[in-house]
Amino acid sequence: MIHLHDVKKHYRQGENSVLACEVSDLRIGRGEQVALVGRSGTGKTTLLHLLAGILRADAGTVEIAGQRIDAMTEPQRDRFRGQHIGMVYQTFNLLQPFTALENVLLGALFGRGAGHDAEARAKSLLERVGLADRMHHRPSELSVGQVQRVAICRALVNDPEVILMDEPLGNQDKATGAQVLDLLLQLAREGNKTVVMVTHDPESAQRMQRTVDLATLRRSAS
């Protein structure tokens, strides 16, 4: 499902070019659940953004679902992300003026979930995560755990093949975070979806099928 080979991404820092992320080779199978770990500065979030097509690699190949997203234009990457990838951010990024249901439906605008059945799927997902009676509440009227579950539904509404998560439990107490992560992983298993999660939390990493330390993926480490 995911294959990165000889990938490098640099950032400009004044007149200098700084290596932000380097991956010699990484393969993640369909339906696999992988935790990305590593000390600060190893490029975990950068790698996630390369997988999402938010950033474009300076070198190497980034292949998802048989397609080279590193060779796509920005509009093509945006379209691919909307159709194949669901994202859950640490800050959730829900829009405050909109209800939980409306926020989930926003995730269906540019992907395969768009259409007459989008609302039915959004409602079904919210019911699955225990928010049947909170669909018409705005984010400010929900608990942090409920907001997180709305963000998960938004990521799943397009029935994506890949789910990317960037420290999604960072704002949660451990008990609530563990419950929400277990729910997401259950939903992912039911749909045979590939999950890649950046985390600093060892307990969250242990819930995944495999853990990858980015430091081991640099060519200099091989």
For residue 15, the model assigns a pLDDT of: 84
Q: Where are the beta strands (DSSP E) in the chain?
A: 2-13, 16-28, 33-37, 59-64, 67-68, 85-88, 162-166, 194-198, 210-213
Average of per-residue pLDDT values in the chain: 88
> For residue 148, what is the DSSP state?
H
Q: One-letter amino acid identity for 222?
A: S
The pLDDT assigned to 28 comes to 97
Is the pLDDT score of 91 beyond 90? Answer: no
Q: Which fold has domain 33-58+71-213?
A: Rossmann fold (3.40.50)
Q: Give the least confident one: 33-42, 66-75, 129-138.
A: 33-42
* Spatial contact of 163 and 156, defined as CB atoms under 8 Å apart: yes
Q: Of 165, 154, 83, which is closest to residue 123 (Cα–Cα)?
A: 154
Q: Cα separation of 219 and 23, whole Å? A: 7
Digit-coded pLDDT (tens) for 153-208: 999 898 899 999 988 776 666 777 777 788 888 888 988 999 999 998 888 899 99
pTM of the model: 0.87
Give the pLDDT confidence score for residue 215 in this predicted structure: 86
| Cα 37 off chain centre by | 14
Residue 143 confidence (pLDDT) above 50: yes
* Residue 135: both structure tokens together: 């669909």
pLDDT tens, residue by residue, 1-27: 999 999 999 988 888 889 999 999 999
Q: Strand 16-28 vs strand 2-13: parallel, antiparallel, or unpaired?
A: antiparallel
Q: For the purposes of burial, counting CB atoms within 10 Å of the CB of 69, is it exposed (0-12), middle (13-18) or buried (19 or more)?
A: buried
